[in-house]
């Protein structure tokens, strides 16, 4: 299979979320038939949905992968499970790790368990701003230029975290 650029959204807000996101980036680099090309800075964002939960730590990774979309999704679900993610049906609730396929090349996928581009990404600052950091000139199928999406998406409390030196 020809390599495809895929963008993965990463988020966590339980059990040392900063560490969880960094571990997820490392794990993404170790996926079979996949290379981690770029990663955004870490960002802190207020929770989407129930407000009685901690802030999230978010990032976006750019992968070059030979995995088919369904195989990539299964690999991400397995990484979530290994990091203690329990899918209990609660939408937008707290989680140890959340991995989403945001984009898979220029493909549009609408299947029961996978929608690409990721639904709602055009209104989510915690996706768009980290994505723009690593791929500012990106064209998103069915949505248009990332730059235009950013212009219509307020930060809503999103904060880029400064890397700790040492």
Q: Give, in order, the Cα–Cα distances in Å from 30 to each of 35, 64, 87, 89, 92.
A: 8, 12, 24, 29, 27
For residue 95, indicate whether it is catalytic. yes
Task: State the catalytic residue, choosing from 20, 44, 95, 124.
Answer: 95
Task: State the catalytic residue, choosing from 91, 100, 106, 160.
Answer: 100
What is the end-to-end Cα distance of the chain in Å, rounded?
Answer: 41
106 close to 74: Cβ distance less than 8 angstroms: no
Six-digit token pair at 114?
Answer: 């996978």
For residue 100, indicate whether it is catalytic. yes
50 close to 93: Cβ distance less than 8 angstroms: yes
Task: State the catalytic residue, choosing from 85, 88, 124, 142.
Answer: 85
Task: State the catalytic residue, choosing from 44, 52, 55, 98.
Answer: 98
H or E element in which residue 72 lies: helix 69-82
From the list 137, 162, 8, the residue with the least C-alpha distance to 76 is 8
* Cα 108 from Cα 139, distance rounded (Å): 13
**Active site (catalytic) residues:** 85, 95, 98, 100
């Amino acid at each position: 299979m020809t390599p495809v650029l895929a963008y993965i959204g990463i988020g966590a807000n339980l059990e040392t979320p900063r560490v969880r996101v960094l571990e997820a980036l490392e794990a993404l680099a170790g996926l079979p038939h996949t290379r981690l090309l770029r990663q955004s800075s870490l960002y802190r964002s207020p929770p989407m949905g129930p407000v009685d939960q901690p802030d999230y730590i978010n990032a976006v990774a750019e992968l070059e992968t030979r995995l088919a979309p369904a195989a990539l999704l299964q690999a991400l679900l397995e990484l979530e499970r290994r990091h203690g993610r329990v899918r209990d049906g609660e939408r937008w609730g707290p989680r140890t790790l959340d991995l989403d396929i945001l984009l898979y090349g220029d493909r549009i996928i609408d299947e029961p368990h996978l929608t690409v581009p990721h639904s709602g990404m055009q209104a989510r600052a915690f996706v768009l701003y980290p994505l723009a950091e690593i791929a500012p000139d990106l064209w998103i199928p069915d949505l248009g230029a990332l730059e235009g999406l950013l212009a219509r998406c307020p930060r809503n409390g999103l904060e880029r975290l400064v890397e700790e030196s040492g």
